[in-house]
Amino acid sequence: MAKIKPPDPTRLLHDLEHSDELRPQTVAGAELDPQLALLRGWQSGRLSGTYADLLADKHYGPACRFFLGDVYAPRDFSQRDHDMERIYAYLSRVVPAQMLQLLTDTIELNELTNQLDHALLRALMDRLGVTDTITPQLYAEGYRVCDNYTERKYQIDLTTRLLKQVAEGARLAVVGIAMKVVRSPAQRAGWGELYDFLERAYSAFKQVRDAKPFVRTIQQREMRILEQIFAGVPDPFSV
């Protein structure tokens, strides 16, 4: 098998600071839609309960808190998401596809999650009459109304695959070196929000000593909850 040729780091750093294509674009800040904030807030609370044991663990807790605060939180991430897609569009032309798998999966998961959340929100609001309160029973019924078991299973598979990649990558010395090298150019070029997100991810996941039990626990619990929801179990979030 042919060896993957890495990109020229000097060129990447130069382009980050000087390329017109990579000049920062500010996305108008906006409050998260109140209904979506309600949904994301409920989901964050559910995840906190499901993974209370991992949150309390000194090795797994930082990664769980990163996920709850930077991925599934009732906040507007439009600037970060916009920056990530622009960086990806550039890198996809200068970096081998195999080296971009993590970023590819991240963007795919983000888009899939947004699609699923908006579909669930419509089911809750339009079909089930939710206004300002979501209960576990209504949330589970919203899943069944959407009837997208296959997409939800794929979301879990993609999430756990990504968690494994991030946890294993954060333990590599080369990743830590790269984070240090790119910090100043990224800040000067106006990509600070995206860099800070990546740095928080790196700092949190490098503390995961063994990714396998961490990822396995999440996959097993989320699949059990998904199966219980579609089976109509009265308390589907009990694991």
Q: Is residue 111 part of a domain?
A: yes
The domain in which residue 146 lies consists of 30-230
Q: Of the given ranges (22-31, 81-90, 203-212), which has the lowest mean pLDDT?
A: 22-31
Distance CA 96, CA 145 (A): 41
Q: What is the mean pLDDT of residues 43-52?
A: 96
How would residue 29 be classed by pLDDT, with cut points 50, 70 and 90? Answer: low
Q: Does residue 74 form part of some domain?
A: yes
Tell whether 2 is covered by a domain.
no
Q: Is the pLDDT of residue 17 over 70?
A: no
Report whether pLDDT(98) > 90: no
In a domain, 18, yes or no: no
Q: For residues 119 and 89, give the distance between their C-alpha atoms in angstroms, rounded to a whole number.
A: 27
Split into its structural domains, the chain has a count of 1
Is residue 160 scored above 90 in pLDDT?
yes
63 lies in some domain: yes
Task: Select the highest-mean-pLDDT range: 68-72, 147-151, 184-188.
Answer: 147-151
In a domain, 67, yes or no: yes
Asked if residue 204 has pLDDT above 70, the reply is: yes
39-54 average pLDDT score: 96
What is the band of 95 on the pLDDT scale with cuts at 50, 70, 90? Answer: low
Whether residue 23 is contained in a domain is answered as no
> What torsion, rounded to 10 degrees, do the Cα atoms 181, 176, 93, 79 define?
-80
Q: What φ, ψ does residue 172 adopt, rounded to 5°?
A: -80, 135
Kindly state whether residue 117 falls inside one of the protein's structural domains: yes
Q: What is the pLDDT of residue 5?
A: 52
Measure CA of the first residue to CA of the last residue in the chain; give whole Å: 44
Buried/exposed code over 34-45 (b: 16+ C-beta within 10 A; e: otherwise): ebeebbbbbbbe
